Amino acid sequence: MNTKTLQLPGSLKLLSAVAVFSILFPALLQGQDLRMTFSATGASTVVDSVKATNLRTNISVSLPGNDTLILGMTTGINDPSGESNGMVYPNPSTGQTNLIAYSGIEQTGVFSLFTLSGKELYRNNATLRPGNNLFQLTLAKMGVYLIRMTTGQGSITFKIICTETGTAANNIHFSGMYTGEPGSFHLKNLSVYKLAYSSGDILLYRCRGGVHTTIITDSPLASKTYNVGFVPCADPAGRNYAVVKIGNQTWMAENLAWLPKVMPSDTGAENKKFYYVYSYNDTIVSNAKLSQNYKSFGVLYNWPAAMNSSGKKSLQTGDQQAVCREVTEIHTGVST
């Protein structure tokens, strides 16, 4: 079979490059990382820590409250934060580029090359030495790729754009230690808190400020700053509970678990306080607290116990202090 090679004039080569970027640029925008920061108001004016969980993948990352969470738009590829970090240059490339990977210890790294759809094209193991390790990457075809480096300390993912190539195969190999000035790449001081995220995923942020905890859920479409409102919510023993704001109301996000005493489920009265743990039928508080139902569901209260008073009274009277001490209006789902 005869084959012919078509040589393009320089002007058409430039036009082809523009066409390639016109195709790649929207895909790059769709994969743009989002940056999330946090501020605080209310009972605490500082966000001490944030635990972010992607509810689709059930993967979490924890970070200091004054740091930035990067949502990596990596079409579902897991990218938890790790101690190793680095950079790719040049990027975009013409089929050959370099990866500088910093490691604080000697360890094995696994390098995986993916398409944006998540198909793995290439995998290789290499030993990372303490310092800045230099790897050479070659790409077989034009396109947008993700390369993930995984060590025992975590993973980090880089996006790579390849505009043209004459290489026969995908490859990555160690070529020595990078001997340039480490500070020029800001590798040693880089702390990256990154969570894989796809458009439409639901994130749950568990934000702590002092003894207070606030839950936020969101499906962000752009970078933003969350204003976390901390609200006191404690039981008579001083245990604080997480809260979540739904509309204009603030609700407890955890089951109330104050248990001064416990009674079997077949006992009760309308004018005395009774406390129950589901399916627990004894009166020993310490044993009740060891049960899985206590840990999962907390405590069940009759009305006097829920209102921390004697006698069945209306919520409208305003002369009682409920079990959950409140500074602002806290809503609970209390079973009577």
Q: Does 36 fall in a domain?
A: no
- Whether this prediction's pTM lies above 0.75 is answered by no
**Same domain membership, residue 89 and residue 176:** yes
Range of 177's domain? 82-191
Closest C-alpha to 255, from 214, 213, 292, 300: 300
Chosen domain end from 191, 209, 228: 191
pLDDT along the chain (336 residues), means of 10: 46 42 44 87 92 89 86 50 63 86 85 87 91 90 87 78 80 86 42 80 94 96 95 89 91 92 91 93 94 93 82 50 53 43
- pLDDT value, residue 264: 93
Token code pair at residue 251 = 């609700």
97: CATH: 2.60.40.1930
Chosen domain end from 162, 191, 220: 191
Are 256 and 298 in contact by the 8 Å Cβ rule? The answer is yes
Chosen domain end from 136, 166, 191: 191
Q: Does 49 fall in a domain?
A: no
Residue 268 is which amino acid?
G
Pairwise CA distance, residues 124 & 171, whole Å: 8
- pLDDT value, residue 78: 37
Closest C-alpha to 263, from 226, 301, 231: 301
- pLDDT value, residue 79: 37
**Same domain membership, residue 264 and residue 173:** no
Q: Does 40 fall in a domain?
A: no
Pairwise CA distance, residues 63 & 61, whole Å: 7
- pLDDT value, residue 205: 97
- pLDDT value, residue 126: 92
Token code pair at residue 9 = 């004039």
Residue 91 is which amino acid?
N
- pLDDT value, residue 321: 59
- pLDDT value, residue 323: 67
Are 145 and 116 in contact by the 8 Å Cβ rule? The answer is yes
Pairwise CA distance, residues 65 & 49, whole Å: 4
Q: Does 112 fall in a domain?
A: yes
Measured in residues, the chain has a length of 336
- pLDDT value, residue 186: 39
- pLDDT value, residue 223: 94
**Same domain membership, residue 267 and residue 185:** no
Q: Does 114 fall in a domain?
A: yes
Pairwise CA distance, residues 154 & 50, whole Å: 19
Q: Does 7 fall in a domain?
A: no
CB neighbour list of residue 53: distance below 8 Å, 6 or more residues apart: 59, 60, 203, 204, 205, 206
- pLDDT value, residue 180: 67
Token code pair at residue 79 = 């990218």
Number of domains forming the structure of the chain: 2
